[in-house]
Structure 1
């Protein structure tokens, strides 16, 4: 399939060089294995990786001043976002809008692995639990 979503002649490079940052070390223990602040690359998006093998566990209730997008890469999760409950599985994407408290848990069986995209150049969070 050929895509032509925009005219390439209408965009101009902004002068940034390509960049690389290491997101995680798979040998590290614990659910949070790494993050890359957007300012490191430099961009306006911060990326985290989260995973656990224990059904019923997950991050504490927290809030951000920006949107967060969760990509479920492995397993199943239950997201609590504001007053909504959303079940998601590998391949699903969930939005946590700015200023809405949220958390999620591993529904099991097995590992839950997510890629969490923070629409901010820095990871900014207030835990509520």
Structure 2
């Protein structure tokens, strides 16, 4: 098996400056569209300042990958619950209910990679929500 990387011909590299993507709405808050990247991947940069904050229970019809840039989170993916910290990577398979919350003590920064050309989300009833 070859480990040599190959690149599609006639496809230029892409650079999206922080002000146009990851920091468009303040530090580590924004997104980069699949159109801007020229791929079928949508990237969301999320910041949750308050302990306990995070997205509601939801599903996507595609896989989603989470990279914890800094902070600590408690993830629920399907029937599994686990803690993730700086540098950890988690994945929620397509059509699997998932959510995460900031465990603190400071802000939680994540990069959420949606393996789809557009962001499609269905929010769900969460029996754990107050």
TM-score scaled by length of structure 2: 0.82
Q: For structure 2, which runs of at least 5 residues remain unmatched after alignment?
A: 126-130
Question: Residue 25 of structure 1 aligns with which residue?
Answer: 23
Q: CA RMSD in A?
A: 2.2
Deviations 1:59-97 (A, max 9, x none): 111110110000001110000111110110001101111
Secondary structure at the aligned position of 1:39 is classed as helix
Greater shift in the superposed pair: 76-85 or 12-21: 12-21
Is structure 2 residue 11 aligned with structure 1 residue 13? Answer: no
Correspondence for 2:78: 82
Instruction: Name 1:50's counterpart in structure 2.
Output: 46
Q: Which moved more, 1:39-48 or 1:72-81?
A: 39-48
Counterparts in 2 of 1:115 and 1:5: CA distance versus 1, 3 Å: farther
Aligned to 1:121: 117
Would you say how many aligned residue pairs link Structure 1 and Structure 2? 122
Q: Deviations over 1:96-123 (max 9, x none)?
A: 1110011100001111100111111211
8 Å contact kept, 2:56–2:124 = yes
